[in-house]
Amino acid sequence: MRIGLLAMSGIRAHDPELLRLGLTLPGFVERSRQVAALPSLGLLQLAACTPPGHELRYFEAPSQADLPDELFECDLVAISTFSAQIFEAYAIADAFRARGVQVAMGGLHVSVLPEEAAAHADHVVVGEGEAAWPEVVAAAASATRCNRSRSNTSLARTSTTWFARDFTPVDVATLPTPRYDLAAHRPYHRYTVQTTRGCPWRCDFCASTVMLGRPYRKRPVECVIRDVKAILAIQPDAFLEFADDNTFVDKEWSKELCRALAPLNVKWFTETDISVADDPELLDLIATSGCRQLLIGLESPAAADLPGVELHADWKQQRAHDYKAALHAIQSRGVTVNGCFVLGLDTHGPGIFDAVRDFAEETALYEVQITVMTAFPGTPLHERLAREGRILEPGR
Ligand code: B12
Ligand code: SF4
């Protein structure tokens, strides 16, 4: 069977006003080409779990209107979904199915809303895909054989939903190296590696813990290094992004990771919580092992804004008092921080714009990422706002 892996990376803008303006905000387009041009690790990971005997090809969907013909020659197309691109993903899936190509969808968005996805895909996978994927492939191959034997290109349009919970739980210690080789023909400079899955915290608005809500899991350092070496074999000066939610929760494991990365001379980026700054030895190792930037969800400059944001222990509120000292400790070692803020918390008023600017200037934050509070399906925030009658239109 010929299987197409279709990633929908990049910045996907749906706001008509922004599109009318041409998204010419200074540096935005240039930066998004760099930062958002990453291969889809989910799909490359599934590729590594595909049983032998199938032909695999990796594609990016530049836009709905611009899909390569080769994709329509596939027997099965696998699409990975985030909420930001879901309507486009469904339209693309519909186009494949209309031409007799089977579609499998997985990823965060459809894991939360599988019934919605079932109208657009022959196979919907809920949760981590590694264990279910071989079964999906077998079912799709058998449907392909059936249709060929009937000399009929139009497949029966039923949809099967596969739940990760019905399969053996994924053991992150035995994950195979993602098939980075499948993306080697594309001009990627940044590649992702996963070192951990999940996050011990539970932020109101966070979509990742919805799916990866099981215990925080660390991969063995030697497996991470094996994957990094596979990337370097393809792209010797690749910039690495760890596709983690919160890398440095376990400080001793983190030090082991940094010590193993140091001899490889790679430049890397990851996401972490502010507790990374509690351990000066770890900060030194992060700096000397090639880390260029840490992305940290600060959410709001003042502790008074943060009650109720982290639901287990109000952790973000408790730690806000340390923000300035922590940012100084990190950035003074030459590791920049991308400080992320959410605008639109219930505690925020119009003064929040100036407050974020003043905080960023005072702490000399190297980069700032501002997100308008967004209620992703499945999050506690979404449930709360729905309960309070505050979801005005279904989201994109
Ligand atoms: C790397 C990353 C990016 C990269 C993505 C690069 C790419 N080509 O994929 C970039 C920087 C572009 C990015 C951008 C954005 N991101 Co982002 N990103 C991540 C991050 C940190 C890791 C994703 C990853 O690679 N995981 C590792 C792989 C192995 O896991 P996975 O993708 O989940 O795949 C597994 C399963 O989902 C499943 N699976 C996935 N796809 C498929 C397909 C099939 C067919 C099957 C069977 C199974 C399956 O199997 C896989 C193996 O178990 C996540 C955090 C997270 N925990 O997911 C946030 C995250 C996905 N991002 C998020 C957001 C909000 C965004 C942006 C909207 C940010 C913004 N304001 O612009 C944009 C949207 C971009 C877009 N095109 O839609 C949210 C998504 C919320 C949601 N419900 O959609 C997350 C969860 C962060 C968070 N804490 O909330 N992001
Ligand atoms: S600390 Fe970050 S990754 Fe963890 S739950 Fe909060 S927002 Fe999500």
CA of 28 to the centre of ligand 1 (A): 20
CA of 207 to the centre of ligand 2 (A): 9
Which residues fall within 8 angstroms of residue 324, CB to CB, at 6 or more apart? Answer: 362, 363
206 Cβ inside 6 Å of ligand 2: yes
Question: Which ranges of the chain does DSSP label H, i.e. alpha helix?
Answer: 16-20, 28-36, 41-48, 69-72, 86-98, 108-112, 114-118, 133-149, 208-211, 221-234, 251-261, 280-288, 315-319, 323-331, 352-363, 380-387
pLDDT tens-place values along the chain, 396 residues long? 999 999 987 666 666 777 677 665 556 666 666 666 789 999 999 999 999 999 999 998 876 667 889 999 999 999 999 998 899 999 999 999 999 999 999 999 999 999 999 999 999 999 999 999 999 999 999 998 777 665 445 555 789 999 999 999 999 999 999 999 999 888 788 999 999 999 999 999 999 888 766 689 999 999 999 999 999 999 999 999 999 999 999 999 999 999 999 999 999 999 999 999 999 999 999 999 999 999 999 999 999 999 999 999 999 999 999 999 999 999 999 999 999 999 999 999 999 999 999 999 999 999 999 999 999 999 999 999 999 999 987 654
Which residues fall within 8 angstroms of residue 388, CB to CB, at 6 or more apart? Answer: none
Nearest partner of 293 among 208, 370, 238, 366, judged by Cα:
366
pLDDT at site 26: 59
Name the residue of 90, 108, 123 whose CB sits within 8 Å of the most ligand 1 atoms, as the mutation to test its pocket: 108
* Spatial separation of the C-alpha atoms in residues 336 and 327, rounded to whole Å: 9
pLDDT at site 177: 98
Minimum-distance ligand to the CA of 272?
A: 2
For the chain, the residue count is 396
pLDDT at site 24: 57
Count of Cβ atoms closer than 10 Å to residue 383 Cβ: 14
* Spatial separation of the C-alpha atoms in residues 205 and 303, rounded to whole Å: 17
pLDDT at site 16: 72
- Compute φ and ψ for 340, nearest 5 degrees: -105, 135
| 320-328 contacts at long range (C-beta below 8 A, 24 or more positions apart) | 322/274, 322/277, 323/274, 323/298, 323/359, 323/363, 324/362, 324/363, 325/277, 326/274, 326/276, 326/277, 326/278, 327/277, 327/363, 327/364, 327/365, 328/363
Q: Are 241 and 270 in contact (CB under 8 A)?
A: yes
Q: Which residues of 174-187 are buried (b: 16+ CB within 10 A; e: fewer)?
A: ebebbbbbbbeeee
Nearest partner of 199 among 127, 247, 242, 164, judged by Cα:
247
Closest C-alpha residue for ligand 1 atom 32: 42
Give the torsion sign (CA, 101, 107, 110, 111): positive
Residue located via tokens 């600017």: 357
208 Cβ inside 6 Å of ligand 2: yes
**C-alpha R_g of the chain:** 22
128 Cβ inside 6 Å of ligand 2: no
* Spatial separation of the C-alpha atoms in residues 278 and 259, rounded to whole Å: 18
pTM, whole model, 2 decimals? 0.94
Closest C-alpha residue for ligand 1 atom 91: 36
